[in-house]
Structure 1
Amino acid sequence: MTREPERLFRRGADYQSHRPDYPDSLFATLAERAPARRRALDLGCGSGQACRALEAHFDQVLGIDVSLEQLRAAPPGRAHYLAARADALPLADASLDLITVAQALHWFPLPAFFHEAGRVLSPGGVLAVISYGLCTVEGLEGLVEDFHDRTLRPWWPAARWQVVEGYRGLPLPWPERSDLATAPIRRHWGWRDMAGYLDTWSALVTARAAGEDPLAAFLPTLRERWGEGKRTVRWPLRVRCCARP
């Protein structure tokens, strides 16, 4: 039988392989807004997707997550990875120029995290909350949405809907900047790519822990409807950012 740490490590590697990357232009813009380019932190970094993108723009990049299994799946690079909580960061006061939180803010204890962000960011340091909503598949509108909204609804945490809505109802600790334009993330995928992406959804981890596997039941429909060709998949990218006074 597979041991739990091995299974979780494989999940971390799958997350890295199947999640869509963020556009480099996003991190270039955030770097321009930061007061300096000394040090950036991606908090809730998982297997390091945003960290890799930040490496091109900052002298030092840190990735922090509570999951050692996810951190072990991060590929080699310049970033340094630490296991820690969002409300107890092992960092000096005013030591960061940028904090990014990608698809993870709903897991953090608020407002304790915002207090920590204010402590570790330098004056003018930027906090950027990044999320991409539910994807759409060209020619199969409604298929993935129905799987997400109806089939998996019992297995999503209540806070999941904050991610889907781009955290728009969540107050930020400082005045928000609203002039950052973003274009959708696009990928050209086959049905197997989509299956790999769906398999990274946390709702499936919860369902399988309860002895159910909704994805296994959905895959025949996905394959039949998708066909063997490629389809364009789009995710709406949303960024909310503010700067410490």
Structure 2
Amino acid sequence: MAKLFIEQAKQYAKTRPSYPQELFEFIASKTPSRDLVWDVGTGSGQAACSLAGIYKNVIGTDTSLEQLEFAPKLPNVRYQLTPPVISMVELEQTVSPQSSVDLVTIAQAMHWFDLPAFYQQVKWVLKKPHGVIAAWCYTVPEVNDSVDSVFNPFYTVDSDPYWEPQRKLVNDKFMTIDFPFEPVEGTDNTGPFKFVAEKMMDLDDYFTYIRSWSAYQTAKAKGVELLRDDVIESFKRAWIKDGQNQKVVKFPVHVKIGKVGNV
């Protein structure tokens, strides 16, 4: 099982889309100062790297050493392995003191958290009253009508039994997730606000992306191969229909954003 998820970490780092610069510019425009970001569930560092170009310092934390090993090393980014449950004392020791963080970000991870406990930590660590929390998820990729017509039943039927229940929050674009924060300046709600990430992929990249899913790894551990030969052939026919192997794959990104206020 451990080998499966180490392999998943490699695939995840390779195929996970980079988030659009517009997303980070939008978030940064809502933080009055740009000294320190805590990127929670940083994984292989995609968001941390983009944040490092805007903020002075970034702390990226994750519970997976395998994921962190694939994170790019930058001079103003510190990666920190943390346990699944972290105390306030550990938070101060490993992340930052109380009321010292300008921005907390969570990319494609918040649906896994114990939200009441996590929000308590966020409200403790953020600067008041303008410290910002931004959490986002990306939903299923969009290629073209031909490929998407094969992908959609594969995702909603074939893979569905192997996703954790929390995946529904992602499918709902974080619209139903608990988010007890105030709207940031210039908005009248906390979202979700939509952006689009794009990644060039060939068919092998697309299959590697699918194999990076936790649902794929769970199915494989149970002896189920989601990408059966007949499924692969269906994808191949759809993919080559336009004669182009390299395609722009679009990932809709949905961000919830709020400020801590005077809590």
TM-score norm. by structure 1 comes to 0.91
Q: Whose relative contact order is higher, 1 or 2, with alpha carbons under 8 Å and at least 6 apart? A: 2
Structure 1 residue 240 and structure 2 residue 228: aligned?
A: no
Structure 1 residue 148 and structure 2 residue 155: aligned?
A: yes
The one-letter code of the counterpart of 2:79 is Y
Aligned CA-pair RMSD: 2.0
Residue among 23, 26, 30 paired with 2:23? 26
Cα distance in 2, alignment partners of residues 130 and 80 from structure 1: 21
The one-letter code of the counterpart of 1:10 is E
Distance 1:106 1:185, change over 3 A: same
CA contact (8 A) 1:40 1:62 kept: yes
Cα distance in 1, alignment partners of residues 99 and 6 from structure 2: 33
Query: Gapped runs of 5+ residues in structure 2?
Result: none
Cα distance in 1, alignment partners of residues 249 and 110 from structure 2: 24
How does 1:45-56 map onto structure 2 within 5 Å? 45-56=42-53
Cα distance in 1, alignment partners of residues 7 and 84 from structure 2: 24
SS, match of residue 102 in structure 2: strand
Cα shift readout 1:108-140 (whole Å, capped 9, x = no counterpart):
012110001001111111100111111222132
The one-letter code of the counterpart of 1:157 is E
TM-score norm. by structure 2 comes to 0.85
CA contact (8 A) 2:18 2:198 kept: no
Structure 1 runs (4+) greater than 3 angstroms displaced: 7-10, 176-183
SS, match of residue 233 in structure 1: strand
Residue among 177, 192, 199 paired with 2:211? 199
1:194 is displaced (CA, Å) by 0.8
How does 1:1-245 map onto structure 2 within 5 Å? 4=2, 7-78=4-75, 79-85=77-83, 88=86, 89=91, 90-91=94-95, 92-123=97-128, 124-140=130-146, 141-177=148-184, 178=187, 182-217=194-229, 218-227=231-240, 229=244, 230-245=246-261
SS, match of residue 19 in structure 2: coil
CA contact (8 A) 2:13 2:44 kept: yes
1:237 is displaced (CA, Å) by 1.5
The one-letter code of the counterpart of 2:178 is P
Query: Gapped runs of 5+ residues in structure 1?
Result: none
